């Protein structure tokens, strides 16, 4: 079997959470076919005491526990082999489709999943870790975020999606949210498919879809709309 196009290494306290949903559908088939590969590293394997402790109380007081820098550093040292080292954190830069596309072009990525109150700042600085967030909310750990990031990257790998062209029209591909979709039946509960989609006039259909995408983006995501207008102005 040839080398996978992309390999992800996940450092976690719960390796049994992987591949999880990634073992199914497009990502699952691509994993079985060797298009991408997954490795998990149990951070507890690098603890030095009989209790396999990975966390301790925070200096300065406060609630919760913090993952120890010495334990996390040993795990990173043993596993950091592919692409950028990314820590899934609510204080990280928001994950964008552009960053996902960049990661898909790399040989892989190494993902650090935090737990408790997070990871000691010193190891993040020492290892030059990139912090990435899925959004303005907090999860119980980095594993669900890692699964989402992996799924977003894997679907962009060559040979995973059935129609690569459809990836170019998705939300965020050009700072626009995606236009509405319709399929059979033509009439459902008194609601009908827009006539333009039945016209067979591809240029008019594309223009209608663009207008719909622009309208949805303007109403729902003013931040994206501003970026779209800025990019459109550069082209003009």
Rounded to 5°, the CA angle 115-37-83 comes to 65
| Predicted pLDDT of residue 144 | 98
Last residue of a domain, one of 125, 154, 183: 154
196 in the same domain as 134:
no
215 in the same domain as 118:
no
| Predicted pLDDT of residue 172 | 81
C-alpha span between 77 and 56 (Å, rounded): 21
212 and 171 Cβ atoms separated by less than 8 Å: no
88 and 146 Cβ atoms separated by less than 8 Å: yes
Number of domains in the chain: 2
Say which residues have a Cβ less than 8 Å from residue 9's Cβ, sequence separation at least 6.
39, 40, 41, 79, 80, 81, 82, 108, 109, 110, 111
Q: Which of 48, 54, 156, 51 is nearest to 106 (CA)?
A: 156
179 in the same domain as 76:
no
146 in the same domain as 95:
yes
Q: Is residue 164 part of a domain?
A: no
Task: Name the residue range of residue 227's domain.
Answer: 171-235
Q: Show the low-confidence residues of the chain (pLDDT under 70).
A: 1, 80, 162-169, 235-236
| Predicted pLDDT of residue 234 | 74
175 in the same domain as 142:
no
183 in the same domain as 141:
no
Q: How many CA atoms lie within 13 A of 3 on its CB side?
A: 5
Instruction: Say whether pTM exceeds 0.85.
Output: yes
| Predicted pLDDT of residue 173 | 72
Pairing of strands 191-192, 187-188: antiparallel
């Amino acid at each position: 079997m040839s080398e996978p196009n992309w390999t992800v290494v996940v450092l976690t306290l719960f390796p049994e959470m992987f591949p999880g949903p990634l073992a199914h559908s497009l990502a699952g088939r691509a994993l079985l076919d060797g298009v991408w590969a997954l490795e998990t590293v149990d951070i507890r394997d690098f603890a030095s005491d009989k209790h396999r402790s990975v966390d301790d109380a925070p200096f300065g007081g406060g609630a919760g526990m913090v993952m120890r820098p010495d334990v996390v550093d040993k795990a990173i040292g043993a596993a950091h082999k592919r692409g950028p080292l990314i820590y899934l954190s609510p204080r990280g830069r928001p994950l964008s489709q552009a960053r996902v596309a960049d990661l898909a072009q790399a040989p892989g990525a190494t993902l650090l999943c935090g737990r408790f109150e997070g990871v000691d700042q010193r190891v993040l600085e020492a290892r030059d870790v990139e912090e990435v967030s899925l959004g303005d909310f907090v999860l119980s750990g980095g594993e669900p975020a890692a699964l989402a990031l992996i799924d977003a990257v894997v679907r962009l790998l060559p040979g995973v999606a059935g129609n690569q062209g459809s990836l170019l029209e998705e939300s965020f591909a050009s700072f626009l949210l995606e236009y509405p979709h319709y399929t059979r039946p033509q009439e459902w509960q008194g609601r009908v498919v827009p006539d333009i989609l039945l016209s067979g006039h591809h240029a008019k259909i594309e223009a209608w879809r663009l207008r719909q995408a622009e309208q949805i983006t303007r109403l729902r995501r003013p931040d994206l709309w501003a970026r779209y207008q800025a990019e459109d102005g550069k082209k003009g």
